[in-house]
Amino acid sequence: PPWGPPSTRRTPQAPVAEVIGAGGFGRVFRGTWRGQVVAVKAARGDAGAAGAASLRREARLYARLRHPNVVALRAVCLEPPHLCLVMEFAAGGPLSRALAGRRVPPAVLLDWARQVARGMRYLHQGDAPCNG
């Protein structure tokens, strides 16, 4: 895999740092890539050649996206069984956890909603000017 010191390269199934999440694709780890903290989204071990083709398509599209409110793709590994996306690390944990925790002031909620909307607008319409 493209991450970690040589010792972890010999045991690619070992966690890169720690598991920070899980989704339909597989597990998500916190790790480092070229000196930066990243999120490594690793495909399940059974993904195989079909998984690699699908990841290649996703990475091609994803690599073109550049927006402050969209997590950036840093690298990709297309060699089964080490299929993974290496992404900018979104610190602070899931938004769902922040919303379920202590009360968030309305002005902060509004700012978060604006940022989400800007990212979504970019994904749907391209780089429209952001005026507010």
- Chain positions contacting ligand ATP, by CB under 6 A: 20-25, 28, 39, 41, 71, 87-90, 94
Edge-to-edge, what's the strand order for the sheet holding 73-77? 18-22, 26-33, 36-43, 84-88, 73-77
Nearer to ligand ATP, 39 or 83 (CB): 39
Nearer to ligand ATP, 71 or 130 (CB): 71
> Was 41 annotated as part of a binding site?
yes
Under 8 Å between Cβ of 33 and 74: yes
In the complex, least distance from residue 100 CB atom to ligand ATP, rounded to whole angstroms:
13
Nearest Cα residue to 90 out of 46, 23, 131, 40: 40
In the complex, least distance from residue 6 CB atom to ligand ATP, rounded to whole angstroms:
25
